[in-house]
Structure 1
């Protein structure tokens, strides 16, 4: 890993819709807290299905979950 005092970044080219402002904010948070991850609130629900593929329920995680970018 990094030696004490070193700074490093880990990127993911698959996340091409991240804005420069988001990058600056996560870097600022990392400097303040020694680590940071960019995340966004979940905006969808997960559906449960039976073997016949009919929806039998849903998990509304959008109210409490975040997706790491």
Structure 2
């Protein structure tokens, strides 16, 4: 699938997009996305992705100890 992208520097009330023959008479999706709006970085819009904790020591068990019942 090939996408067609056109950028209009000064969009008018109506836009015209010329489709190539292979896309004519087919089901297509048109998305209008304003490019002048600034998207806030992830760090400003959300908190930390994971919680981290500081510990004094870690316990690492061997395989047999992990699977004991």
Is the TM-score greater than 0.5? no
What TM-score do you get using the length of structure 2 for normalisation?
A: 0.23
- Of structures 1 and 2, the one with the larger relative CO (CA 8 A, separation 6+) is 1
What TM-score do you get using the length of structure 1 for normalisation?
A: 0.23
Which has the higher Rg, Structure 1 or Structure 2? 2
